[in-house]
Amino acid sequence: MKELEQVEEVIGAVCAKSGRDRSEVRIVAVTKTHGPEVVEEARSAGLLTVGENKVQEAMWKKPLCDSRLSWHLIGHLQTNKVRHALATFDYFHSIDSAKLLDKIEAVSEEMGLCPQILLEVNVSGEKSKSGMKPEEVPFVLEHAMAQCPRIDVQGFMTMAPFSMDPEASRPYFRRLKELQIQMRKVSGLYLPELSMGMSGDYGVAVEEGATFVRLGTVLFGSRPKAKRQVMSDDTGFEVCKVVD
Ligand SMILES: *Cc1c(COP(=O)(O)O)cnc(C)c1O
């Protein structure tokens, strides 16, 4: 997959320049709106972590894909979908409230799970973005530590505002890194992960300390305008198939 080779060149060069080891950075292959054939393309190129932003779409896609893949939720999670999300995903990048933590904790207890999560922070303050405010992070982290023994908080995630200029993202990534350092001190948790950087700005993100980059377009080209066909599973939950 030549797109992946190009991405590897960029990540390798940035790691060399900033004194980081390539193994510190993992690629999440964002396959949203693509079909299982694109997931298979990623897998055969060695990308074993896929990112999806919708629970229903992943529920349709996952059974059609190689069972060795790890599925990461990168989109907003509603409390009414927590049960299905926990059954589908291995890792959660976008947890953004104490209320959502409580729901995840309760369902994890029932299902016997200990999910790994990241707290999503809206560093830019853009209204259109999900994520908690930076000033809410200490409270939410404290809540997780005190009330949610099953939840393993691994670090933080953010999305920079859209821009054609990757440099425009740098202050937001830097801010998330600072928040990580601060929160490690305050909480005593290790909090090693920073999920930041997408197709347009992953080089800058790696320079600023990203441990996960979430890449769709740069690997798979522009996304098909998804037409979703809604089906229901046997519990009446809606599952969305992507159709051409
Ligand atoms: C779609 C999406 C991405 C990938 O975006 P690209 O620009 O195509 O790489 C990354 N993160 C999140 C949260 C997304 O929804």
What is the per-residue pLDDT for 224?
A: 82
Residue 232 has pLDDT above 90, yes or no: no
Is any ligand 1 atom within 6 A of the Cβ of residue 129?
A: no
Torsion of CA 12, 16, 21, 23, to 10 degrees: 0
DSSP per position, 36-80: HHHHHHHHHTT--EEEES-HHHHHHHGGGS-TT-EEEE-S---GG
Domain tally for the chain? Answer: 1
Query: What pTM, to 2 d.p., does this model score?
Result: 0.94
Residue 218 has pLDDT above 60, yes or no: yes
Name the pLDDT band for 233 (thresholds 50, 70, 90).
low
Name the pLDDT band for 225 (thresholds 50, 70, 90).
confident
CATH at 167: 3.20.20.10
For residue 122, the CA-to-ligand 1 centroid distance in Å is: 15
Contact 106, 129 (CB under 8 A): no
For residue 147, the CA-to-ligand 1 centroid distance in Å is: 31
Residue with tokens 């992943």: 58
Domain that holds residue 201: 2-242
User: How many Å is the maximal CA-CA distance in the chain?
Assistant: 52
Is any ligand 1 atom within 6 A of the Cβ of residue 182?
A: no
Name the pLDDT band for 59 (thresholds 50, 70, 90).
very high
Q: How many whole angstroms separate alpha carbon 216 and alpha carbon 206?
A: 16
Residue 86 has pLDDT above 80, yes or no: yes
Contact 82, 150 (CB under 8 A): no
CA 86 vs CA 12, 50, 54, 212: distances in Å: 33, 15, 13, 20
Percent of the chain with pLDDT over 90: 90
Q: How many whole angstroms separate alpha carbon 85 and alpha carbon 163?
A: 30
What is the per-residue pLDDT for 237?
A: 61
What number does the ligand 1 atom closest to the CA of 94 have? 13
What is the per-residue pLDDT for 228?
A: 64
pLDDT one-digit tens code per residue, 131-150: 999 999 999 999 999 999 99
Looking at the DSSP bridge assignments, the partners of residue 232 are: 238
Is any ligand 1 atom within 6 A of the Cβ of residue 217?
A: yes
pLDDT one-digit tens code per residue, 178-202: 999 999 999 999 999 999 999 999 9
Nearest CA to ligand 1 atom 11: 214
Break the chain down into helix, strand, coil percent, rounded to 5: 45, 20, 35
What is the per-residue pLDDT for 241?
A: 74
pLDDT one-digit tens code per residue, 93-108: 999 999 999 999 999 9
Name the pLDDT band for 90 (thresholds 50, 70, 90).
very high
Q: How many whole angstroms separate alpha carbon 110 and alpha carbon 93?
A: 22
Q: How many whole angstroms separate alpha carbon 147 and alpha carbon 129?
A: 27
Ligand 1 pocket check: which of 214, 218, 219, 220 to mutate, most ligand atoms within 8 Å of Cβ?
214
What is the per-residue pLDDT for 112?
A: 98
